[in-house]
Structure 1
């Protein structure tokens, strides 16, 4: 089901943008943007077709259609130890938009937000976009948070702590104990917490996942959770995500101030139907996909561990690796070298993409076939 034969390369070359097949010269293997090379499940495809058969694409409720809100709440409650009602869910146009809207809601210009370093660039970009000031809290190569440093960064201008769980690009799943510690620090200083949980389905070795707001009363009181469907179900082009918040008054105010109470904002009903069908009917497909990803993770880790080029981490979640470069090249130089000499595109661990703490690493996406992954890794190693 997830072999080379299952990948439609012609479709990818027409449609897969964001540094992938549609943007690169013929013959280059993209192990870049975190987007699967496989088609979405047939259940999602059929769900979309069924929905439009009667010929109507009318306005939906501005905050999200009932099926969507119900399926997201149930998904979090059954799979992530959540405690959400459908009303606690707001449909947004992607997890990325959710992050921006939360930053806009919580921060005034010059207010400060603490984000992890390294972490995906969207955390910094969201804060920058609303005139906030970023403070970086280091995590080690395993994703462990330096809590002493975190506390030292807090001052009267601090309003927000943002966490990425599971962590992109390090693949760390934060334990309930760690999340409780974050909630205690946030509560002691009356701070908001945003937890980006877009990767929370793609977790290996049956490791437990706890959605942030469920770990304590303090966590529930003053937090937003961000979720999306692009990683789990391969529907990035539908631009569908959710913001969840246990405090209904806060979410209602957030919805109002984010213009999701009128036709100014709102999400395609078709995208919401696809997401609902994904949760309700595509989980068997996803379980096979997850099994394939775990095999790819193990393969990539073993291959790179045996190389003299890169020292890999073993992610607990996500479908990306973040290996350390073993020669003296910096991230940008290494990336250029493997593109030119190995015909493989990877993401440099540069400040632009992941923050200052990412230097000396590259990110490799492995949500492709075993054949493509093996060829890509082999090319990287042999390019030196």
Structure 2
């Protein structure tokens, strides 16, 4: 199901944007944006077709279709130790939009938010778009460990929010229940909100446990937002579907109102919600095969890179990206440009633009493709120096 023969390269060259097949010259292998090369599960495709057969695409409820909200709540409760009701779920236009809305809700201009460094650029972008100021809390690029002493030292009278990424992009670290409890104690002591981006929480290897942030303490349950999406685990990025979860019903209702969802200004495609509901309710067998394939790819990529002499790979506990350390003296940008020109492989530099100051000296490689493409891509990288 996840062999090279299963990839429709013609479709990818027409449709796969964001630094991937549709944006690059022929002959270049994209190991860039975290988006699978494989088609979505056939059952999701069928679910979309079934939904539109009667010819109606009417307005949906402002907070999301009942089946969508129930399927997300059930998924978190069964798989991530959650305690959510369907009423605790708001449908949003992608996890990215959820992050922006949360930052806008929690922060006033001049307020401060603590984010991890390195981490995906959307954390910084969300805070700054809301008029907030970013405070960077270092994370070890080798272990993923959070510098909690630094985190506490960053908290001041203007601090309103701590944002975490769990599992962590780009390090692939899963934060344990104990680590999350420590975050919740710090947040409670200083009366801070916590946003937990959990879009990667389905792509977890070696049967490790995952705890959604709000499940670890009563304080976490009371004053947090969780962000979730479907682009990673089910390959439907183009449908722009995500969810914001919050255990406090009054807060979520206020959030929904202030985010303009109780109007026709905002709102989410009903078709996208149906696809997401079908994914969670019927596409789990497909997803489990996909996860098994990804774990094999992870192990293959680490093995090939560990013998290269030019980078030292990490072994991610989750996600389908690697974040190797550059060992040949190149900067992240120099390395990436060299690989693109000499090896015809596109990868993401560990630059401040994409991941923050702490990412320099690394590259990010996406491995959600076929074994053949991945092997060819990594061989090109290691042979072009």
TM-score range, shorter chain: over 0.9
Per-residue deviation, 1:48: 0.1
CA distance in 1, matches of 2:381, 2:302: 14
Q: Which residue of 1 aligns with 2:106?
A: 106
Q: TM-score, normalised by structure 2?
A: 1.00
Query: Are residue 238 (structure 1) and residue 213 (structure 2) matched?
Result: no
Q: Distance in 2 between matches of 1:36 and 1:364?
A: 13
- Secondary structure, in 3 states, of the residue corresponding to 2:233? helix
Aligned to 1:18: 18
| Counterpart check, 1:342 vs 2:343 | yes
SS at match of 2:208: coil
> Is it true that 1:223 corresponds to 2:220 in the alignment?
no
Q: Does 1:368 align with 2:369?
A: yes
TM-score calculated relative to the size of structure 1: 1.00
In 2: Cα distance, 1:130 partner to 1:64 partner: 24
Once the two structures are TM-superposed, the CA of residue 157 in structure 1 deviates from its matched residue by 0.3
CA distance in 2, matches of 1:182, 1:130: 23
Q: CA deviation at 1:249?
A: 0.4
Q: Give the 3-state SS of the residue equivalent to 1:233 in structure 2.
A: coil
Q: Offset at 1:143?
A: 1.0
- RMSD of equivalent CA atoms: 0.3
Partner of 1:203: 204
Summarize the alignment of residues 272-351 of structure 1 with structure 2, pairs less than 5 Å apart.
272-351=273-352
**SS at 2:232's partner residue?**
helix
User: How far apart are residue 309 of structure 1 and its match?
Assistant: 1.0
CA displacement at 1:284 relative to structure 2: 0.1
Secondary structure of the structure 2 residue equivalent to 1:226: strand
Counterpart of 1:173 in structure 2 is 174
Query: How many Å apart are 1:95 and its aligned residue?
Result: 0.2
Residue number in structure 1 paired with 2:358? 357
Hey, what's the Cα distance between the residues in 1 that align with 2:196 and 2:73? 16
- The 3-state SS of whatever aligns with 2:319 is coil
- 1:133-181 CA-to-partner distances (Å, cap 9, x unmatched) read 0000000022100000000000000000000000000000000000000
Cα distance in 2 between the residues matched to 1:237 and 1:143 = 30
Deviation per residue, 1:81-109 (Å, 9 max, x gap): 00000000000000000000000000000
2:113 is the counterpart of 1:146: no
The unaligned stretches of length 5 or more in structure 2 are none
Secondary structure of residue in 2 paired with 1:219: helix
Q: Aligned partners of 1:228 and 1:378: how far apart in 2? A: 32
State the SS of the aligned residue for 1:231.
coil
Aligned mates of 1:320, 1:31 — CA distance in 2 = 9
Distance in 1, matches of 2:49 and 2:108, equals 43
Distance 1:42 1:341 in 2: 38
* Counterpart-to-counterpart distance in 2, 1:163 and 1:206: 22
Shift, 1:335, TM fit: 0.2
CA-to-partner distance for each residue in 1:311-337, whole Å, 9 max, x for gaps? 000000000000000111000000000
Aligned twin of 1:268: 269
CA displacement at 1:208 relative to structure 2: 0.2
Measure how far apart 1:222 and its partner are: 0.2
Is it true that 1:164 corresponds to 2:171 in the alignment? no
Task: Give the whole-Å Cα distance in 1 for the aligned partners of 2:348 and 2:126.
Answer: 20
1:190 aligns to what?
191
Structure 2 match to 1:155: 156
Q: SS state of the match for residue 109, structure 2? A: coil
Distance in 1, matches of 2:277 and 2:186, equals: 35
SS at match of 2:187: helix
| SS of residue paired to 1:59 | coil
